[in-house]
């Protein structure tokens, strides 16, 4: 199940707002039964209903899966300086290594 944070972020993006809107204008709170929107002060955009938020469940799950994939890939790629050295020494070996990482960690 996608987190409320992720679904609200996707709702904002779908309505031409940025994550900066989230950080400064929205507060989430756990009421004991799960996260809820405590405050909503986004200019020009109404607070989403539970039904609207629910429509982002599938996209939220995909987004959260892809965040994990990106973090795994980033760790496997290694330091950018080391990658640049590897490219200068043998670009074909670098391409093969990077492609193997991507193949082992596909995005949804």
pTM over 0.85: no
Residues 6+ apart with CB under 8 A from 44: none
Give the dihedral sign, CA 20/66/90/82. positive
Angle, CA of 25, 68 and 12, to the nearest 5°: 25
Per-residue pLDDT of the chain (108 residues; tens, 9 = 90+): 999 999 999 999 999 999 898 888 999 999 898 999 999 999 999 999 999 999 999 999 999 999 999 999 999 999 999 999 999 999 999 999 999 999 999 998
DSSP-H helix ranges across the chain: 4-14, 19-25, 50-54, 57-77, 80-104
């Amino acid at each position: 199940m996608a987190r409320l944070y992720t679904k609200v972020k996707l709702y904002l993006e779908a309505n031409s707002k940025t994550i900066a809107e989230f950080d400064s204008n929205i507060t989430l709170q756990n009421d004991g039964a799960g996260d809820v929107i405590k405050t909503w002060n986004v200019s020009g955009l109404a607070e989403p209903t539970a039904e609207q938020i629910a429509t982002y469940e599938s996209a939220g799950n995909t987004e959260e899966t892809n965040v994990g994939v990106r973090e795994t890939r980033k760790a496997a790629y290694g330091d950018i300086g080391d990658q640049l050295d590897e490219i200068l020494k043998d670009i074909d070996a670098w391409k093969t290594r990077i492609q193997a990482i991507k193949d082992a960690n596909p995005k949804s």
